[in-house]
Amino acid sequence: MALALNVGWLSQALREDKDGFAFGLDQISDLNAVLAESGESLHEEPTDIAEHDTYEAQMWGYAGLHAVRRLAAYHALKGQLPPPCTYEDFADDPLLLKFYAEHSSELDKPKAGFFGRLFRKKLKAPLPFAHLIMHSDSEGFYLPRPMNEVVFDTANPPRDGLGEW
């Protein structure tokens, strides 16, 4: 499966793919369980978006995601755009690697259960673009809203299709 950008995917599935729609509802239900466990407001994925207002496109491969992450890291750490580089160098940019190194320990997955959530390390302030930069490449959701912190699925095992972040 390729990396895709979708707007109105559940509305489109309702019109075109009843099995996909049922699967999407299950995914949203699991997503909302994770959000509720983290103290975040629930996500309401609309199902009434007109066909001409939906959008789907394949990303520029996973290197395209790394290019966007590189832009975000430069903006977060330097307040500027990065210098030009080659397609092959997006993921290995020194500033992006610095962001990963400096912030991965702050975003370690909290322990499950009541005491894990109660005593987990709280971040002083949300890290700019942490969700975009640190999110799994292979599964999960990017929600179109600001969040107080990166949200983790603390279920053991993690819920299918959501990724751990």
SS3 string of the chain?
Answer: CCCEEEECHHHHHHHHCHHHHHHHHHHHHHHHHHHHHCCCCCCCCCCCCCHHHCEEEECCHHHHHHHHHHHHHHHHHHCCCCCCCCHHHCCCCHHHHHHHHHHHCCCCCCCCHHHHHHHCCCCCCCCCCHHHHHCCCCCCCCCCCCCCCCCCCCCCCCCCCCCCC
Q: Is the separation of the CB atoms in 113 and 154 below 8 Å?
A: yes
Q: What is the pLDDT of residue 63?
A: 78
Q: What is the pLDDT of residue 116?
A: 52
Angle between the N-to-C axes of helices 18-37 and 9-16, in degrees from 0 to 180, rounded to the nearest 10? 150
Q: What is the pLDDT of residue 140?
A: 77
Measured between alpha carbons, how far is residue 91 from residues 62, 82, 145 in Å?
A: 9, 13, 25
Q: What is the pLDDT of residue 28?
A: 94
Q: What is the pLDDT of residue 142?
A: 79
pLDDT under 50 in the chain at which residues? 117, 123
Q: What is the pLDDT of residue 34?
A: 92
pLDDT of 36-66, one tens digit each? 998 899 999 999 999 999 998 887 777 788 8
pTM of the predicted model, to two decimals? 0.71
